[in-house]
Amino acid sequence: MGYFGERLEELVRRDERGEAIEEFDDLCCGRDILTAAKEGRINRNDTFLMISFDGVQLYEKKQSDCWIFIWILLGLSPNCRYKKKYVVPGPNPPKITQSFLFPALAHVESLNKAGGLHIWNAQSNIIYSSKIFIALAVADSLGLVHFSGGVGHSGKHGCQLWCGQPGLHKEGEATYFLVMFKLDGYMPCRHRTYEVLKMGQYSMDSECYIEDLRCVMLSHNATDYSENRKETGIKVPSLFLGMHPDTILGLPNMFPCDIMHLVLNLADLITPLLQGSLKLCNKDDDVSTWVWAVLKDNDTWTQHGADVANATKYLPGSFDRPPCNPAKKINSGYKAWEYLLYLFGLAPGLLYGVLPLEYGKSFCRLPAAIH
């Protein structure tokens, strides 16, 4: 249980000596955590927690799910952290999630107000008080709104890090998308191009977040609230604002973005693009003009799937689960790890000479970024 605190003290000492962190292998290497330690907001005797929240479909092909949140003890080293599960019954998502989260957070706050947990360290034979510190609250893009109070990824300001970049929407549609580049020759596209390297600091600091939240809460009427919600990306106050500021990492920094589903969502877009079967395109879009849809022919797709399966013997055993033949299995239980190996490991090579060079070069930038 002393791992996190000891590692944190070591990193703070190295930082004070001006030594760079050589390997970012745990949360305690993060800037916000180190800053909190140097400011004295946390110390080695604190109990460090992370809360994670997600919806789970219990049965395949059935409309039944439940919502679970778990506490993860960060005090233990990464190779032996355990999870304690709390189940919220289904079959539907909770309408007022805060009613389930409130008792857990209120319990943490009550313990801290009482002086923290009284812990006996058997190794040193010392009894001490340990403050409970919630470092992170994590969820996917759909679940995170229950923690952050944000509008979600389809809002005008839907970035989970509140980076400030607005989304755009098609004419007559309410769903916004975060798009970096202005499309050539696309008339409804009226936004400018956003250059990533010139956008500066991506995450909003706490003062800006609180100021935007105040703007939403001071709305005069429903119309005013709707406009303020759209322009700030904040729908309701976060439940974590009820915690003492010294017992949480801080808003919005304690709500990190969702990397895993980014990869899976890309897979759901790239595969139908190659097959010419994407359903999200405009109604007047002619799939026959898609020169990148090199796998739409059934024989080509079948051969490509066989090539993927035949590559298994060339993959190291440490790669765990090799991708199955996508022509046979991609619509019936293709795993996230299979998608990773298929799209970002095998596809750049297997599509060489098949995908036109212009699009092949563009595609290869994505695996390079993921790597």
In this predicted structure, the answer to whether residue 169 has a pLDDT above a threshold of 60 is yes
SS (H, E, C) 147-195: HHCECCCCCCCCCCCCCCCCCECCCCCCCCECCCCCCCCCCCCCCCCCC
126 and 182 housed in the same domain = no
117 and 155 housed in the same domain = no
In this predicted structure, the answer to whether residue 186 has a pLDDT above a threshold of 90 is no
> Is 251 inside a domain boundary?
no
Would you put residue 115 in left (φ > 0), alpha (ψ -120 to 50) or beta? left
Domain boundary, last residue among 114, 139, 164: 139
> Is 180 inside a domain boundary?
yes
202 and 269 housed in the same domain = no
Euclidean distance between CA atoms 367 and 267, whole angstroms: 12
In this predicted structure, the answer to whether residue 346 has a pLDDT above a threshold of 70 is yes
280 and 356 housed in the same domain = yes
Mean pLDDT in residue range 59-63:
63
188 and 297 housed in the same domain = no
> Is 248 inside a domain boundary?
no
127 and 216 housed in the same domain = no
91 and 14 housed in the same domain = yes
Domain boundary, last residue among 88, 112, 139: 139
What length is written for the chain?
A: 371
**Which of 14-18, 210-214, 331-335 bottoms out in mean pLDDT, i.e. has the lowest?**
331-335
> Is 274 inside a domain boundary?
yes
**Which tens digits make up the pLDDT trace of 104-155?**
899 999 999 999 999 998 888 999 999 999 999 998 888 888 899 999 888 9
In this predicted structure, the answer to whether residue 89 has a pLDDT above a threshold of 80 is no
Where in the sequence is the domain holding 73, given as residue range(s)?
A: 3-139
What does residue 222 show for φ and ψ, rounded to 5 degrees?
Answer: -60, -40
> Is 111 inside a domain boundary?
yes
> Is 34 inside a domain boundary?
yes
**Which tens digits make up the pLDDT trace of 268-278?**
889 999 999 98
pTM: 0.79
Tell me which DSSP letter residue 316 carries.
Answer: -
> Is 245 inside a domain boundary?
no
Number of domains the chain contains: 3
265 and 362 housed in the same domain = yes
127 and 154 housed in the same domain = no
C-alpha distances (whole Å) from 159 to each of 142, 191, 200, 252, 253 are 12, 17, 15, 11, 13
> Is 181 inside a domain boundary?
yes
Domain boundary, last residue among 237, 272, 287: 237
Instruction: Tell me what pLDDT residue 84 has.
Output: 46
271 and 345 housed in the same domain = yes
125 and 16 housed in the same domain = yes
364 and 277 housed in the same domain = yes
